Amino acid sequence: MTPEVDVQTLRLLLAVAEHGSIGAAARELELSQPAASARLREFEARWRIAVLDRSPGGSRLTEDGEAVVSWARTLLHELDTVRSSLLALGEERRSGVAVAASLTVADLILPRWLAELRARRPHLSPRLHVVNSDTVAAMVRADEVDLGFVETTDVPGDLARQVVGHDSLAVVVAPAHPWARRRTPLTREELQAGSYVLREPGSGTRSTFEAALRKQPHVVLEASSTSALLGAAAAGVGPAVVSRRAVAAEVEQGRLVVVPTALDLQRPLTAVWRRHRRLSDAASDLVLIATEASRTGA
């Protein structure tokens, strides 16, 4: 059977070549000199070559020893590269981040944040769950994700939180709708009398609008998709309430009209995580990226 290459002895032999003595090499590798000498002699016996000329003044590489050291330098460099890469990769995997985000954040904002996170941590593979704000909170609470992003004014008090930005809702209608011609803001009472296409209960959009309206709205169509709401509003089913970011293209193209209202429809974008739990480095980076992006308007 062909003997295996002893990597530790190669490291020892390389140290002897660099320091000129077995004793100095042994100290560098935290070995006793007798143990180092025995290891080198066993290596020579195993491979049936002499790698050192030993003398009272020190140890000198033989011609065979020079060849072995030359090969060892290349091999050990590659092994160290592989080892460092594996450690870095393993650390990135351990610091991976599972994120739950409500629809507006996930569709319109989070992709830019995740792209920046990937730029800073190329080996990271975040996992994203797109759900409504209530479900985000539930997933964080159940430890199913490391971090959540919600778009509601009603953040559960049992979760740690940090506001990372703000968003604003808009009431939009088809150009033929009577409200499309309004120049003065609709009052709360006028809005309370409307019939709407809205997100499902538990969404941040729905809860923000209900809080501003101070009344349960009359809903003629309920959908978990922003695109479905916009399509329904454009078709004349009723006014829709969506993020201004989500409706910008439809308004610019003239398919929908933003209705002025007297309501405060601004809402915070909030990162949430379990109390008394330290965020991983990757999750902390994502919160920082979100905060920085909001400050710069990105």
DSSP 42-71: HHHHHHT---EEEETTEEEE-HHHHHHHHH
Total domains, the chain: 2
Asked if 19 and 86 sit in the same domain, the reply is: yes
Asked if 13 and 107 sit in the same domain, the reply is: no
State the 10-residue block means of pLDDT for the chain, 298 residues long.
81 89 90 91 90 84 90 88 68 70 91 92 88 93 94 88 94 96 95 96 92 95 93 96 94 96 94 89 93 76
Asked if 261 and 141 sit in the same domain, the reply is: yes
Asked if 54 and 172 sit in the same domain, the reply is: no
Asked if 138 and 199 sit in the same domain, the reply is: yes
Is 80 part of any domain?
Answer: yes
Question: Any residues with CB less than 8 A from the CB of 220 and at least 6 apart, and which?
Answer: 195, 196, 197, 237, 238
Is 282 part of any domain?
Answer: yes
Asked if 140 and 217 sit in the same domain, the reply is: yes
Is 21 part of any domain?
Answer: yes
DSSP 261: B
pLDDT of residue 146: 93
pLDDT of residue 3: 74
Is 1 part of any domain?
Answer: no
Asked if 80 and 104 sit in the same domain, the reply is: no
Asked if 17 and 132 sit in the same domain, the reply is: no
pLDDT of residue 270: 94
pLDDT of residue 149: 96
Is 16 part of any domain?
Answer: yes
CATH number for the domain spanning 249: value is 3.40.190.290
CA dist., res. 5 & res. 36, Å (int) = 16
Token pair belonging to 135: 């479900």
pLDDT of residue 93: 52
- Which structural domain range is residue 169 located in? 98-296
CA dist., res. 188 & res. 290, Å (int) = 33
CATH number for the domain spanning 15: value is 1.10.10.10
Asked if 110 and 69 sit in the same domain, the reply is: no
Tell me the CB-side half-sphere exposure of residue 76, using CA atoms within 13 A.
16
Which residue, 59, 93, 127, sits at the end of a domain? Answer: 93
pLDDT of residue 123: 82
Which residue, 77, 93, 109, sits at the end of a domain? Answer: 93
Asked if 87 and 102 sit in the same domain, the reply is: no
Asked if 35 and 105 sit in the same domain, the reply is: no
Which residue, 93, 123, 147, sits at the end of a domain? Answer: 93
CA-nearest of 210, 205, 174, 172 to 192 is: 210
pLDDT of residue 59: 82
Is 15 part of any domain?
Answer: yes
Asked if 160 and 212 sit in the same domain, the reply is: yes
Is 33 part of any domain?
Answer: yes
Is 2 part of any domain?
Answer: no
pLDDT of residue 162: 94
